[in-house]
Every structure is written in C-alpha cells, then in structure tokens.
Structure 1
Amino acid sequence: MQAHRIPATARMMARCAVALSVTLLCSTPSNAADFDQARMAPQGDWTVIVSPYVWAASLKGDASLAGFDTDVDVPFKDTLDHLDLALMGNIELTNGQWGVYFDGQYVRTSQDEELLSHEIGLDIKMTTLAFGAFYQVYEQELGGNTVFGKPRTLSIEPTIGLRWTKLEADVSVAGFNTSKSADWTDPFVGLRLNADLSERWNLVAEADVGGFDVGSKLSVNAQAYLGYRTEMLGQPTILRAGYRLLYQDYESDDFTGANKFRWDVSQHGPVIGFSMLF
C-alpha cells in the first residue's frame, strides 16, 4: 500500500501522546521522579505520596499508522483545540528506604480535516501505565533540618520497572471507517536523585532508559523539578516546577501496508504540580 504524507494526521496522533501530559493520578516517568522520598514521615513508617501535575508537552518526530506516513511536529497550544479528555498521575508507597509506584495516563483526542474535498475524522486514545520499584543506596546528611523537621539530605535511588503503552485510532472518511491499534511494554532502569537545597527548597531528578528491543527499540525518560515545601489542607506538601522529556521509538513487527505502525516521537515541555504526603 502506497504511504501518504498527511501532516494533519500526524498532529492528531501527536495529541494522544500530548494528553499523556496533563495529569490527575500521578509520575513516571510520570513517573517516580515527581515524588519526595518520604522524608516528611518518621523513618521506617509507610507513607503514601500523591503527585498531580500538568505537563505542557510538545511533540516532535515521525509516525506511521494504517499506511500513512507523517511528520509529527505539534506545539502544545495546537493540541488543546482537539483534546477531549486527559487523566494522569502517580501514587507512591514508600518507607524512606525503598518503595513502589504506579503511574497512569489516559488521553483522548478528536479532529476533523479536509482532504481532496472529503472530511476525515480521526479519534485517538492513548493509554500508558507504568509500575516501578526503587531502593535508596546512598544518603548523606547536609546539615540542618527541613521545615518538616527532618534532616536535610542528598540521596540516590536506582529504579526498575515496566511501562505499557497502547495507541488506538479510529479513522472515518467518505462513509468508510477503520480502526487500528498497537501496544507495547518496555522494561526500564534508571536513577532518582533528591537534594534538599535549604529548609524549604529541594531538587528532584530522574532519568531512565528502556525498550531494549523487548517492546520498543528505545525509550528515554528524563525529568527534573525544583520544589518548595509548604502545607495544603493541613498536609505536608511540596510545590514543584520543572521540565520533562519522554522519547519512544516503537515499530510493529508487521511493518507493511495497512498494518504499518511506527511511533518515533519525543515529548518534551515544562511541568507544574505538587507532591502531597498522607
């Protein structure tokens, strides 16, 4: 089947990934780097950290879906016009030494385009679920305490996990409808860093690499946030602002004709949110 280049299709495909950028449940990439390492609670006690955020992501790369090849070049402002629903977030359970986290993201977009006097409708749904674990291998006290009454520290935590991605697209044109979908699971390994800069300010960063030809060829996630300690609703809270990059290079096994699927796209942009301890 002859491949066609349709930039509008690309923008729509991109929107589903961008929706991966507006959150309601909390990190991984969304990820585990968004959360503080439970230094707000007594050492050894199990705590839950919830970190909602909004990711203003732009998309850049190449994609192929159902025989269509297209460049993906979508600034965040363009995705808002066609965004139907976006739910995202991360929940972390930790005792200060080790912990686990779950990240969920769901995005739905829709768009109509004109092509050769025909209206093309494209609905896209993208779901990403990530589960990971981490362990604190290094911690150094920096002197003084945070406003939560815990020592200021610098810590490093290796992390390992799985990230599942599913992309679904419904295309309608001239009374003809077709649906295509693809999903893949990427193992990943990485590091998390937490540094208490002062009694109120801290820095959290995370980077992981995955895929390894198990799911995608390669995936890279990197994010860093500056946080400010305060209280919200009587709960210890860290307000955060930073930047995140997520790159995925996936190609289906049946890479021909109407079954052709490829997602070689980078999502990047600023993030704002908060981490609240319960």
Structure 2
Amino acid sequence: MFSRSSILVVGSLVWTVILSSPSLTADLKTPLPVKAIPQAVETPWKVDIVPYFWMPSLNGTSTIKGHSTDVDATFFGDIIHRKIPKELFGLMTGFEARNDRFAVLGDFVYLLLGASKGGARSITFGPIATLGAQAELDTTLKMIIAELAAAYEVAHWGSPFGGMGSSTALDIYGGGRVWWQQAEVSLGLTAQLALVLPRRTFTISGGRAVAKSGDVAWIDPIVGLRLRHQFSPGHELTLSGDVGGFDVGSQFSWQAIGAYRWTFAKTHNVTWSGLLGYRALYVDFSKGSGDTLYEYDMLQHGPIMGISARF
C-alpha cells in the first residue's frame, strides 16, 4: 500500500509535468467558445399599406351599345340613396415600398356604383330620340382600376413651413393604369318608350328594357409628379397628379390626389396613421361604333379616408 506521503509526492510530480507542458497550459487558459447571438438585420425598404374608402361623385357620359346616358350623380345625394342599396360597394387599397430615393407605388380600386332619377338625367337613342329622367332611368357601373408605377425622388429640401423636422420632397413617377368595366342601363317600359326602343340593342326583363356592355378593359400609360411635405414627424401632406392614355388605351386621362396623414399610434415595428383627402380621376375612353359603341367619358371625384400601416 502507498503511504500518504508517497501519494503527495506523485501528485506533485504529475502537476509539475502538466504545468511544464505548453500545449496543455494553452488549452487550460483558452476560454470556452460562446455561441454568437444572431442580430436582426434592418431592411432598407419601408412599406406602406393603406386600406381606404373613396366616395366618388360621377359627372359625364356613359355610352352602351350606342346609347348615351348623361350622368350627374353626387355620392351622398344620388348614389348612396339609390333605390337598390346593395348595388353600392367599394374596396380600395394603396401600397408603397420605398428604398431611399426609389419607390414602387400601387393602388387597387373596385367599385360598384349606380345612379337613377336625378343622377342619370337622360338617355339618347342615337339620332332617334332623347328621353329625360322621367323615363325611370337607371345606370349601374362596375369597375376595377389598378395602378402600378415606379417613382424617383428628384429633389429634397428643408422647409420653413412647419416645425422641427419639416421638409419637402418631389418625386417623378411613371407606370400604367389598368381599367376593367361592366356597365348597364335600364329603363321602365312605357308606351312612349316602346315606340322608339331599338330592340336589337335592348333586352326586356321584368318590365324594363336593359342594355349591357359586357366586359371592357384597357391599359393607360401614366406619368406624374408627387409632392411630399412633412410639417413635423408624424404629420405629412401629399399632393400628386398624373396624365395618361395618349390614345394607347383611352384618348386621355388625368388624376389629382391630395391627402393629409397623421400618426396616432406605434406598435412594435408598425406606425399607424389616419388619412383624409380628396381624389379626382377623369378618363375619356371609346371603343367600337354604331350599335357596338362603348364610351366612358367621366370624371369621378370625391373624398377619401383610410388608415395607413407603415413598417
């Protein structure tokens, strides 16, 4: 058996050998590796999604199968109080993705609108006759308007109009606007109407004469300018305008939008803002001739309101 003193001597010799070995000493002094904690990478893109509601009035002419209807309908006076409330619906969403000076802009609108009596004032049967609103005239429009454009900030400067952090920026943009429409006009049958009604372009349904356009679609190129003014952080005014058509899709179109946005909440990485403004959109489109003529020469204009989520 080993004595206590011999065990101590052997242990001292072993420890001396370990300490005298450079490789072992280095291993003992090397700290254990620490697992790296992944860091969140901030994207340079800022994205805005803006669900909103547009309440447009209609002023212009809608022509279906060669029959022109004069429309002068206010949203709150003639459209929203229409006899058939179910024929009023809207779905709108705006979109913007920005990276420094470059941005991608998008907008989608689906509208189902109708006007009757005071809103749809008269209908013309080509050279045959014209009937006024007393003919129980109804006009229904269903449409999709979709926009996609690329924008570039050409100027940015500090502005004296506002508080700390006030600035103004100017964007130029270009892209396309897609239109899709279905239109319908109907009249209550009367003895007077039966004498002048062209049966080749109208169908009789439930005591009414109905003309339908079918699907009509076209694409307009657009170019425009947009002014963005920040009064102070969280308070921004945007003014934009564009022109388009140029006989590529429609003969001509223009649009003007003014909107004020203010921040009311921030949650996690999302900034929530309210939006109030006004939008006007005009287009002059025609296709076909005679009994196949479809024309939409109309100004749609009215207030907009919505909520913006920026992240």
- Both proteins in one fold, TM over 0.5: yes
> Higher strand proportion, which one?
1
Moved more, 233-242 or 184-193: 233-242
Q: SS of the residue aligned with 2:79?
A: helix
2:106 is aligned, of 102, 109, 113, to: 102
What CA distance in whole angstroms lies between the structure 2 residues aligned with 1:106 and 1:223?
18
Describe how 1:20-59 pairs up with structure 2 within 5 A.
45-59=44-58
What is the match of residue 228 of structure 2? 194
Corresponding residue pairs, total: 230
Could you say which structure has the larger radius of gyration? 2
Q: Given that residues 53 and 90 in structure 2 are in contact (C-alpha distance below 8 angstroms), is that contact kept between their aligned partners in structure 1?
A: no
Tell me whether 1:174 sits opposite 2:208 in the alignment. Answer: no
Structure 2 unmatched runs, 5+: 1-40, 118-130, 187-202
When residues 262 and 43 of structure 1 are mapped into structure 2, their CA distance, relative to the original with a 3 A threshold, is farther
When residues 232 and 65 of structure 1 are mapped into structure 2, their CA distance, relative to the original with a 3 A threshold, is farther
What CA distance in whole angstroms lies between the structure 2 residues aligned with 1:120 and 1:131?
36
Structure 1 unmatched runs, 5+: 1-41
What is the match of residue 79 of structure 1? 79
Q: Given that residues 43 and 95 in structure 1 are in contact (C-alpha distance below 8 angstroms), is that contact kept between their aligned partners in structure 2?
A: no
Q: Given that residues 178 and 217 in structure 2 are in contact (C-alpha distance below 8 angstroms), is that contact kept between their aligned partners in structure 1?
A: yes
When residues 43 and 73 of structure 1 are mapped into structure 2, their CA distance, relative to the original with a 3 A threshold, is farther
What is the match of residue 131 of structure 1? 148
What is the match of residue 140 of structure 1? 157
Return the TM-score normalized by structure 1.
Answer: 0.72
1:267 is aligned, of 277, 280, 300, to: 300
What is the match of residue 8 of structure 1? none
What CA distance in whole angstroms lies between the structure 2 residues aligned with 1:219 and 1:73?
19
2:97 is aligned, of 93, 96, 121, to: 93
Q: SS of the residue aligned with 2:232?
A: coil
Tell me whether 1:247 sits opposite 2:269 in the alignment. Answer: no
Q: Given that residues 44 and 97 in structure 1 are in contact (C-alpha distance below 8 angstroms), is that contact kept between their aligned partners in structure 2?
A: no
Deviation at 1:56, TM superposition (A): 2.0
- Structure with larger RCO (C-alpha < 8 A, sep 6+): 1
Return the TM-score normalized by structure 2.
Answer: 0.65
Query: Could you tell me which amino acid in structure 2 is paired with residue 226 of structure 1?
Result: Y
Deviation at 1:67, TM superposition (A): 2.5
